[in-house]
Chain A
Amino acid sequence: DTEVTQTPKHLVMGMTNKKSLKCEQHMGHRAMYWYKQKAKKPPELMFVYSYEKLSINESVPSRFSPECPNSSLLNLHLHALQPEDSALYLCASSIHGTSGAYEQYFGPGTRLTVT
């Protein structure tokens, strides 16, 4: 199973709402990632988790709060977002180690619209 799943596929939320994005993988990967992709732009890193611990936060505003409750799950909690946060949110996972080159597997993304 080389699949990364993301739910929901689409999400529309108001600026005062609280919502969560979910990502799941069952490949035994211990590195998981959140990327943000605006229209017609390449993906940009938001967060990296290594062995369920946050290892990289690319200066993301605190209205985005990641969580890795176990080795298979990655959540992104959203609160008080702005319309400019509307984007495709991508989750990815990879093997964690230093002995080789590891590809990242991406989910299909959640299309978020903030109204």
Chain B
Amino acid sequence: DAKTTQPTSMDCAEGRAANLPCNHSTISGNEYVYWYRQIHSQGPQYIIHGLKNNETNEMASLIITEDRKSSTLILPHATLRDTAVYYCIVRVRGQAGTALIFGKGTTLSVSS
């Protein structure tokens, strides 16, 4: 799986958009970008994933650059409950029986 690079920490004001960047310059054509988050002392939670196109669901939007070497997770209206560690992971399509390789992630702190 390709390696990812994320900022160690970010701050965001409640109600504002949180934009979390991720670099994955060695990503292969068959690798998806996944985002998970982990709220303190809980299990990781799946947020969103994408291959080439931008994706949106009820939790977030994922913007992938045209060359696929980087992506941005957008939480459109951050709340205090979005304070968590956010992990960007790239993973080969269809490898259901293989592990997620977690990097260090970005600690997002949302404040009022």
Contacts and interface: CB of A to CB of B under 8 A. Distances in A.
Contact of B102 (A43, A50, A99, A103): A43
A60 interface: no
A95 to B, nearest CB: 6
Contacts of B34: 101, 103
Nearest to A58: B99
B20 to A, nearest CB: 15
Interface residues of B, number: 26
Interface string B71-96: 00000000000000101000101111
B46 A101 contact: no
Interface of A: 4, 31, 33, 35, 42-45, 48, 50, 55-56, 58, 88, 90, 92, 94-109, 111
A103 to B, nearest CB: 4
Nearest to B43: A106
A99 B94 contact: yes
Interface of B: 32, 34, 41-46, 49, 51, 85, 87, 91, 93-105
Contact of B96 (A43, A58, A98, A111): A98
Contacts of B95: 98
A97 B94 CA distance: 6
6 contacts: A48-B97, A58-B99, A94-B96, A96-B96, A98-B95, A98-B96
Contacts of A107: 43
A101 B55 CA distance: 14
Contacts of B91: 101
B87 A103 contact: no
Contact of B32 (A56, A95, A99, A101): A101
